[in-house]
Amino acid sequence: MNAWVSRAISLIESDFNRSADTHLIKVDLPATPGIDLYLKDESTHPTGSLKHRLARSLFLFGLCNGQIHENTVIVEASSGSTAISEAYFARLLGLRFVAVVPSGTSQEKIEQIGFYGGECHFVAGQDIYCAAADLAEQTGGHYMDQFTFAERVTDWRGNNNIADSIFTQMQTERFPAPKWVVVSAGTGGTSATIGRYIRYRRLATQLCVADPEHSVFHEYYVSGDRSLTTHQASTIEGIGRPRVEPSFVASVVDNMIKVSDEASLATIHFLQRLLHRRCGGSTGTNLYAAFELIAQMHAAGDVGSVVSMICDDGERYAHSYYDDEWLAANGFDLDLQMAHLEEFYKDGAWSV
Ligand SMILES: Cc1ncc(COP(=O)(O)O)c(C=O)c1O
């Protein structure tokens, strides 16, 4: 094997060896005492999001496939989080990294890509994929293509993947096998890993994917139409896609719930009171759907556990989701949804 490739794989493995697992936080919901809610806190990875796992896997995949060498320019189409994590690993290996990002990407994310030495290439329309493929060709680089490969770069049977970690951490809980695991989808990689793992381990757990507005995943799940597209970008950064991504595996998903942007954003503001910290928008989408399932279980007299996910930290969105002026300028009034969430918290009822 080429010495540089061998050294690169060792560097990534050592980085992994130095890293701790992410926490599984228990959230108290007094009105639904028969149901335990947990949040897998993926914001505590070194690069602040669940994409740290994906970036590590994409680099190892590219190295072991013989696609990444010394001096290979790494190119990715990303709405931000993946690019931050890939920039980190590119810097670890001493490689140039270029992120092709939508022009609306938050300033905080752009700064973090730059912090790790990555460059940003802005694209106005939706077609970040073609722009990234073109750029890789022009530079003789390697297009990581997370939207195609996210579902296959992770070892879904175990090897401390996210599902393995969740189910191991749940082992000594009151209800060790969750009734539901609730996540959202950008690439669909996280949901594919968890869904396959559930089947492989023959667990009774069901997988629910929460989908925001301006995304085709839910409609595709219902209709089976892979050609669906939408022109408006998702407000919730990182999740909700304008096309059915190749890496989204609908067949491992047991249920999908559509979540309005107002509901996602109200939920992160509500969660701030429960956890005393800020989380990113996709955490709100996940948690809103988890609350809905908990309310249904509660109404049916069911007991059990529900696991969802904190995908990234809210500080990345200080100038958007947590800024009153931004909310007003984008037409968001969260009062109704906040009242609805308060009611759920107080009596476990779901009135919408
Ligand atoms: C903040 C955030 N949450 C959730 C997701 C969804 O994860 P996945 O790509 O595994 O579907 C992403 C993906 O980009 C993300 O950036």
Q: Does ligand 1 have an atom closer than 6 angstroms to the CB of 312?
A: yes
The tokens for 134 are 């073109």
CA distance 239 to 217: 10
Q: What is the pLDDT of residues 168-187, one digit of tens each?
A: 999 999 999 999 999 999 99
Three-state SS string over 175-212 comes to: CCCCCEEEEECCCCHHHHHHHHHHHHCCCCCEEEEEEE
In sequence order, which ranges of 65-174 are alpha helices (DSSP H)?
81-93, 107-115, 128-139, 146-153, 162-169
Q: Binning pLDDT at 50, 70 and 90, where does residue 27 land?
A: very high
Q: Does ligand 1 have an atom closer than 6 angstroms to the CB of 212?
A: no
CA distance 110 to 77: 13
Q: What is the pLDDT of residues 245-274, one digit of tens each?
A: 999 999 999 999 999 999 999 999 999 999
Q: What is the pLDDT of residues 306-344, one digit of tens each?
A: 999 999 999 989 999 999 999 999 999 999 999 999 999
pLDDT at 126: 63
Q: Check pLDDT > 80 for residue 1.
A: no
pLDDT at 105: 80
At position 341, the amino acid (one-letter code) is: L
The tokens for 135 are 């750029």
Q: Does ligand 1 have an atom closer than 6 angstroms to the CB of 280?
A: yes
Express as a percent the part of the chain with pLDDT over 70.
99
Maximum distance among all alpha carbons in the chain? 62
CA distance 284 to 327: 15
Q: What is the pLDDT of residues 210-242, one digit of tens each?
A: 999 999 999 999 999 999 999 888 999 999 999
Q: Does ligand 1 have an atom closer than 6 angstroms to the CB of 85?
A: no
Average pLDDT value for residue range 65-74: 97
- Domains of the chain: residue spans and CATH: 8-47+157-347 (3.40.50.1100), 52-150 (3.40.50.1100)
Q: Binning pLDDT at 50, 70 and 90, where does residue 139 land?
A: very high
pLDDT at 246: 97
Q: Binning pLDDT at 50, 70 and 90, where does residue 108 land?
A: confident
Q: How far is the CA of 239 from the centre of ligand 1 (A)?
A: 5
